[in-house]
Structure 1
Amino acid sequence: MSGQLDNLSDEQGKALENFKSQLSDDYLSNDGTYLRFLRARKFVVQDALKQYRETCDWRREKDVDTILERPQPLEEEIQEILASSYHGFDKEGRPLYLQCSGSMDVERLVAFPIDDLIYRHVYHNEKQISRAEQNSTRLGRNIETVAEIHDMSGMGLVHRKSLSLLRNVINIDQTYYPERLGRAFFINVPRLFYILWQIAKVWLDPVTATKFVLLPPDQINKLKEYIDADQLPVEFGGTCTCPNGCFDYLGKKKANGPVVNSNDLGTPV
């Protein structure tokens, strides 16, 4: 059985009830959330409870619940060195995030304080979860996972300097956001990427690692097996043409005024 709310075995259902019976704090209070922690810990109840309690403590300590009410950290600085966008949805209704990771200025990125970069990543996670919740309401079905596409065009050896940051991000996601990733697509991957991937894959839970899809330049059209063409920018083989382009970055804002990304919510999936 999948371990999802509508597809539980008898044993999984008992584990959920056992989990709930031991809660003295229902801070995140809903069965879907509890099941994410149970799935992440292979339905070993005590392990799931430990991770859940640590997550609740971390969210309180970092005031994560109100993070979207505050300005996104390093917004202009990151926009100057990295083209990205919250853009559309995949065929499962997951909110998409697009990032041109291969062409980012890695030297400038890693020069920022690590705490600021981690804070920004937490903001990003909460933004994607909020978009998933909005699409759940719109479609009338539960969507709790997210998707992202990283264009690795232009990647060079300098990207190895970002591995420490990547390891920190993976730790945050696997510790405090279990079972949130639906798919992560890496497109236009050069040969160098596969070398760094062998390093990064060691830090990933084996189940999480299976959610990564690596596509060299001649296989970019496989994105459309997972994502409708009108949800993809033309740069990624799609047909979407947002008024000012599908990517948000500061240079466009200075030249053209505020970027209008018409596909932030996307067409209904």
Structure 2
Amino acid sequence: MALNNSSNVLALLTPENKASFASFAQLCAESDNLVRLEGLENQDLRDGLSDPPTLLRFLTARQFDPAAALKQFQEACQFRYDKHILRLYDLVEIADYEQSRQFYPHWTGRRDKEGLPICMFDIAHFDKENLACWDKTRKTASWAYSQSGKAQAPKADMWQLASVLQDTLIRFIFPLCSVMQDRPRPLVPITSCIGIVDGSSLGLKLGWSLRFFAQEISWLLSTCYPETITRIFVCNAPPYFSTIWKYLKPWVDPRTAEKVVILMSADVLPTLREYIDDVNIPTAFGGSLLFKHGMRPLLDEHVCDHFNWDLPERSLPPGPIKWIKDADGNMAALAVGGEKGFQRSELIATRSRVDN
């Protein structure tokens, strides 16, 4: 049961691309890639995993070549299976999740003028200590799940934690933004975000130190989460950024590199205003949103008013959150993850579904 149906997904495609999509979907069905994925609970929605918008992302990444898209989709599914990503999403330690969230762009709780979620990151966070912390997770033994319910390794590795964070984007944030009607094309599902990066602290030494991070995360995004980024604004870039980018760019997936927009300080606010209202632009870039790196999402009023909240503060708690179908057939947000050996299962908010 998916939130978005095929007709909405295909609305903007040419007849030729619609035919490619139909062929790709058929190939996926024949290869059993559209069955419920290992690790999902019966109540979990497939949104972001194997629903039509997800298939379209993979197909777009392969220039509408069904065979090539199938190969990549199978590789992504195998990666999830080998790394126990779906099971880890429900069980990951909330403290580990929050610590890892600091290394990647995270949702501000706001959306651009098209309704796309805005994710922010401050490169200043990548100091020597934090880079060493990230590098340590690359060498950690992978977390594994056994049928007995016992984890075979105490900590998740870098690939697993990064994947769980990206799953929050595709499984929770994209579907949330998709149901919002206050956007130019409310019937077209949201399948990508825009990133705003504060690059003011990026020096030559740090830029070189980030090459392995850029390479590995770029591989994960391009392979398992293709076409989830519309553009990335690197703001307040220093004058020598072109030199840094020259060394970093070869380590980044070419399709991702094409979406990077470099902005000097004078160009930041005028450019961002073309895409984002001032109220949703963080103060670090000239807007009025009091959001800084590491903060929990500050949901806008439209999102808050759209859902029936079980939490009086109408905000998102730390840790992973997923969408489920509750006993009444409604779309419900469930906070999961683990804390001190106990698995969390906390209802946050619900929304009546109109496409049951």
Residue 46 of structure 1 is matched in structure 2 by 67
Residue 162 of structure 2 is matched in structure 1 by 121
Residue 93 of structure 2 is matched in structure 1 by 71
Aligned-residue offset at 1:248:
5.4
Match of 2:196 among 138, 145, 149: 149
User: What is the distance in 1 between the residues matched to 2:77 and 2:95?
Assistant: 22
Q: Does 1:225 align with 2:306?
A: no
Distance change in 2, residues 1:56/1:84 (3 Å): closer
Distance change in 2, residues 1:237/1:67 (3 Å): farther
Residue 154 of structure 2 is matched in structure 1 by none
User: What is the distance in 2 between the residues matched to 1:77 and 1:65?
Assistant: 19
Residue 7 of structure 1 is matched in structure 2 by 12
Match of 1:170 among 213, 218, 230: 218
Counterpart residue identity of residue 19, structure 2: K
Aligned-residue offset at 1:73:
6.1
Please tell me the root mean square deviation across aligned C-alpha atoms, in Å. 2.6
Counterpart residue identity of residue 203, structure 2: G
CA contact (8 A) 2:120 2:293 kept: no
Any gaps of 5 or more consecutive residues in structure 1?
250-258
Higher helix fraction (1 or 2): 1
CA contact (8 A) 1:90 1:96 kept: yes
Match of 2:292 among 224, 247, 259: 247
CA contact (8 A) 1:183 1:212 kept: yes
Aligned-residue offset at 1:96:
1.5
Residue 244 of structure 2 is matched in structure 1 by 196
After TM superposition, the structure 1 stretch with the greater mean CA deviation from structure 2, 208-217 or 4-13, is 4-13
User: What is the distance in 2 between the residues matched to 1:32 and 1:85?
Assistant: 21
Counterpart residue identity of residue 247, structure 1: K
CA contact (8 A) 1:73 1:120 kept: no
Residue 131 of structure 1 is matched in structure 2 by 173
Match of 2:116 among 73, 94, 106: 94
Counterpart residue identity of residue 230, structure 1: V
User: What is the distance in 1 between the residues matched to 2:176 and 2:98?
Assistant: 26
Aligned-residue offset at 1:166:
1.1
User: What is the distance in 1 between the residues matched to 2:63 and 2:286?
Assistant: 37
User: What is the distance in 2 between the residues matched to 1:170 and 1:40?
Assistant: 14
User: What is the distance in 2 between the residues matched to 1:29 and 1:75?
Assistant: 24
Residue 287 of structure 2 is matched in structure 1 by 238
Aligned-residue offset at 1:48:
0.7
Counterpart residue identity of residue 165, structure 1: F
Q: What is the TM-score normalised by the length of structure 2? A: 0.63
Distance change in 2, residues 1:84/1:57 (3 Å): closer
Identity %: 28
Q: Does 1:61 align with 2:82?
A: yes
CA contact (8 A) 1:188 1:215 kept: yes
CA contact (8 A) 1:106 1:161 kept: no
CA contact (8 A) 2:121 2:198 kept: yes
Q: What is the TM-score normalised by the length of structure 1? A: 0.81
Counterpart residue identity of residue 12, structure 2: N
Residue 24 of structure 2 is matched in structure 1 by 19
SS of the residue 1:54 aligns to: helix
SS of the residue 1:22 aligns to: helix
Residue 299 of structure 2 is matched in structure 1 by 265
CA contact (8 A) 2:24 2:66 kept: yes
Aligned-residue offset at 1:172:
0.4
After TM superposition, the structure 1 stretch with the greater mean CA deviation from structure 2, 134-143 or 203-212, is 203-212
Residue 180 of structure 1 is matched in structure 2 by 228
CA contact (8 A) 1:91 1:227 kept: yes
Aligned-residue offset at 1:208:
3.0
Aligned-residue offset at 1:229:
0.7
User: What is the distance in 1 between the residues matched to 2:176 and 2:258?
Assistant: 27
User: What is the distance in 1 between the residues matched to 2:83 and 2:100?
Assistant: 22
Match of 1:108 among 129, 133, 157: 129
Deviations 1:132-170 (A, max 9, x none): 211111234310101211101222233111211111000
Aligned-residue offset at 1:84:
7.0
